[in-house]
Amino acid sequence: MVTPAKRATVYFDPFIHKALKLRSIETSQTISDLVNEAVKAALSEDAEDIAAFEERANEPLIRFSEMLKRLKKDGRI
């Protein structure tokens, strides 16, 4: 069963709105579809980040100063 879309009012910076309108015309998609896709992508990235943090939760902690020393020793900075 398809859940009906919810309506919300979103205020865009005028330049962002113009860019969305142009993209909408170019891609034959509604602004709502473009915004929905962008929000889904952002939420998906967040979910991936959370999963990565959870995977590494049991790794030992390193002080920032120690990490800098390691990076210098390896010639990375």
Phi-psi region of 29 (alpha: psi -120 to 50; beta: other; left: phi over 0): beta
Chain centre distance of CA 25: 24
Condensed to tens digits (0 to 9), the pLDDT of residues 5-54 reads: 999 999 999 999 999 999 999 999 999 999 999 999 999 999 999 999 99
Q: Where are the domains of the chain?
A: 34-77
State pTM to two decimals.
Answer: 0.66
Contact yes or no for 10/35 (Cβ under 8 A): yes
CA atoms within 13 A on the CB side of 70: 6
Phi-psi region of 5 (alpha: psi -120 to 50; beta: other; left: phi over 0): beta
Cα(66)–Cα(47) distance, integer angstroms: 29
